[in-house]
Amino acid sequence: MKSIYIGDLSYALRLMIGSFLVVLSVGFFTGISFVGQTDSMTPEGMVENYNGNADQDDTMVMKFKKSPREMLTIIHTHVLSLSFIFFLTGILLGFSKINRRIQIFLMVEPFVSILLTFGGIYLVWLGYEWVKYIVIISGIAMTIAYIASVLILFSRLNLHKGDTSS
């Protein structure tokens, strides 16, 4: 059976995939930007975002501990949406000519990071604050995996070849 690679697809399909990756990346990095807005990019800020800061007197913005319903909503929506994002990028990577070990790593690692990140956030919310470091590391790993995947995919789309059909 002959292998199909994304670089061999028609120009229209390659352009659609490229457009999809651009729009997907806008959404992904908007989410990362939102994390920065909530001060959750530091271990202490992340704990404060989920567990509140009502016990601190010198705070600029008062935050309260998230309710169980809020936590379930956050975890549910993020796990589902990020799983879908990485499933789609993983499928596209599966049709890309790249080193097999890198390919498998980039196809599987994000799912591990999703579980560690959002499982860790839940544990932080329960009071296990030492998990905050795992959450930060896994969130960074997930973001690096996304960036690497998208860069590889763009390099394999061969969009510079243009439409060679008549």
* Ordered mean pLDDT values, 10 residues apiece, the chain (166 residues): 88 96 97 81 86 77 88 97 98 96 98 98 96 95 98 92 64
Tokens representing 54 are: 């009502």
Tokens representing 73 are: 């909503």
Residue 166: per-residue pLDDT: 45
Residue 60: per-residue pLDDT: 73
Residue 165: per-residue pLDDT: 58
Can you tell me the distance from the alpha carbon of 3 to that of 10, in angstroms, rounded to the nearest whole number? Answer: 15
Residue 37: per-residue pLDDT: 79
Distance of CA 117 to the CA centre of its chain: 10
Can you tell me the distance from the alpha carbon of 60 to that of 138, in angstroms, rounded to the nearest whole number? Answer: 29
Residue 164: per-residue pLDDT: 60
Tokens representing 141 are: 């790993």
Per the confidence metrics, is the pTM higher than 0.85?
A: yes
Residue 136: per-residue pLDDT: 94
Inter-axis angle of helices 132-157 and 100-126, nearest 10? 150
Question: Could you give the 3-state DSSP secondary structure of residue 52?
Answer: strand
Can you tell me the distance from the alpha carbon of 24 to that of 151, in angstroms, rounded to the nearest whole number? Answer: 13
